[in-house]
Structure 1
Amino acid sequence: MNNPFKEIISDEKLPEYIRQKVIDDINLIKLSIDMADLFMVKSPGVLGTLFDDKNKNPDK
C-alpha cells in the first residue's frame, strides 16, 4: 500500500486565499472556545443574567 502523503508535492505553494480562509477558520474556532470558556466556566452567573426575565420578579 502506497503512502498518499509521500505523493504530495512539497514545492507547491498554497494559494493565499486558501491560506487566509484556514487562518480565519482557526481564529473563529479559537474565539468560540474562548467565549464558551468565559461564559460557561469562568462566569456562569453572567449567562443567567442574560436570559433572566425581568417581568418574573418585579422587585428587582
Structure 2
Amino acid sequence: MSNPFQDIVSDEKLPEILRQKVIDDINLIKLSIDMADLFMIKSPGVLGTLFDSNDDNEDE
C-alpha cells in the first residue's frame, strides 16, 4: 500500500486566495476562542447582564 502523502509535491505553492481563506478561518477561530474566554471565564457576570430581561423597565 502506497503512502498518499508521498505523492504531494512539496515545491508547489498554494494559490494566494486559498492561503488567505485558511488564514481568515484561523483568525475567526482564534477570535471565537478569545470571546468565549472573555465572557465565560474572565467575567461571567457580563454574560448574565446581556441576557437579563430588564424587569425594572417594565414597571415604569
Give the TM-score, by structure 2 length: 0.89
Q: Report % sequence identity.
A: 79
Q: Which runs of 4+ in 1 moved over 2 A?
A: none
1:53 matches 2:53: yes
Q: Which amino acid aligns with 2:35?
A: M
Q: Deviations over 1:20-46 (max 9, x none)?
A: 000000000000000000001111000
Q: Which has the higher helix share?
A: 2
Q: Distance in 1 between matches of 2:10 and 2:51?
A: 51
How many residue pairs are counted as aligned between the two chains?
A: 58
Give the TM-score, by structure 1 length: 0.89
**Could you list the runs of 5+ residues in structure 2 that have no partner in the other structure?**
none
Q: CA deviation at 1:57?
A: 3.6
Query: Cα RMSD (Å) of the superposition?
Result: 1.4
Match of residue 6 from structure 1: 6
